[in-house]
Amino acid sequence: MTDHLAELTGLRAIVTGGASGIGLATARLLAARGAAVAVLDIDPSGASAPLLGLKADVSDDASVRAAVTEAARRLGGLDILVNNAGIGAQGTVEDNPDLQWQRVLDVNVLGMVRTSRAALPHLRGSSHAAIVNTCSIAATAGLPQRALYSASKGAVLSLTLAMAADHVREGIRVNCVNPGTADTPWVGRLLDAADDPEAERAALNARQPMGRLVTADEVAAAIVYLASPAAASVTGTALAVDGGMQGLRLRPA
């Protein structure tokens, strides 16, 4: 029996936002399993060998097209696209001006559209084609102070389902992962901005059902599963990696 999960040798992957956090953990795991991996990032300096780091801004169509073409040329084709680049925003609808809405939707939603559009012609040449989008539990839960971010991730979830339907007959699978709060540099920056970062981290951990944050490696493992031939019959799904945040209803302590 072939262990499709362990063995990705011969497959070629692009990870956007792959120079930090969840994207970097995913790129490293794909490479550890034998895939050839290109990281597309506005700052690719965090992606070291064997990862191929390419500078690309997902909010710029020409930049995305050039980088995807370059990656597919250097990798010799493309089997896996991980649409992971994203930015955050806090506040209610009254707090974020139009310009901020446009910026976040441009990166978080249109960024995935642009990369997918550039990658699809290459993915059609693969017999194991898969797209995995990094979504969030914010797509399906009503989180306070996250109107803009939640709307962007709700769109990512709908986009994932619609693309899965559009491309299923072409043999291209499309899924997403919904992380809960994951311990990445992004969350580290938010905690560092608090008056008392240690107290803030302790309070954040205490709010999690497992008493701790999700790790980037745990989210990466789910992304790599969905991207791998082990998930050959899985498309149009959202896999939550959230320590039970969404599904559990715990009794108050």
Site for ligand NAD contains 134 (CB under 6 A): yes
Q: Does residue 204 bind ligand NAD (CB under 6 A)?
A: no
With CB under 6 A as the contact rule, the residue among 11, 15, 17, 113 that binds ligand NAD is 17
- Which DSSP category does 108 fall into? I
**Contact stretch for ligand NAD (CB under 6 A) within 83-91, 94-102, 197-205, 228-236:** 83-91
Nearest distance from residue 39's CB to ligand NAD, in Å?
Answer: 8
Pick one of 13, 14, 19, 159: the residue that binds ligand NAD (CB under 6 A): 19
Give SS3 for 106: helix
Query: By the 8 A CB rule, do 145 and 186 touch?
Result: no
3-state secondary structure of 249: coil
Minimal distance in Å, beta carbon 112 to ligand NAD? 9
Q: What is the closest distance, in whole angstroms, from the C-beta atom of residue 55 to ligand NAD in the complex?
A: 9
- 186 touching ligand NAD, by CB under 6 A: yes
Query: What three-state secondary structure class fits 93?
Result: coil
In the list 15, 27, 29, 41, the residue contacting ligand NAD (rule: CB under 6 A) is 41
Q: Catalytic annotation on 149?
A: yes
Largest CA distance in the chain: 56
The catalytic residue among 15, 110, 137, 149 is 149
Residues 11 and 29: their CA atoms lie apart, in Å, by 13
**Phi, psi torsion values for 80, nearest 5 degrees:** -130, 130
DSSP letter string over 114-172?
A: HHHHHHHHHHTT-SS-EEEEE--GGGTS--TTBHHHHHHHHHHHHHHHHHHHHHGGGT-
Residue 9: CA count within 13 A, CB half-sphere? 4
Site size for ligand NAD, by CB under 6 A?
28
185 binds ligand NAD (CB under 6 A): yes
Instruction: CB nearer to ligand NAD: give 164 or 182.
Output: 182
Which residues are catalytic, by number?
149
What residues make contact with ligand NAD under the rule CB under 6 A? 16-17, 19-23, 41-43, 56-59, 84-87, 107, 134, 136, 179, 181-182, 184-187
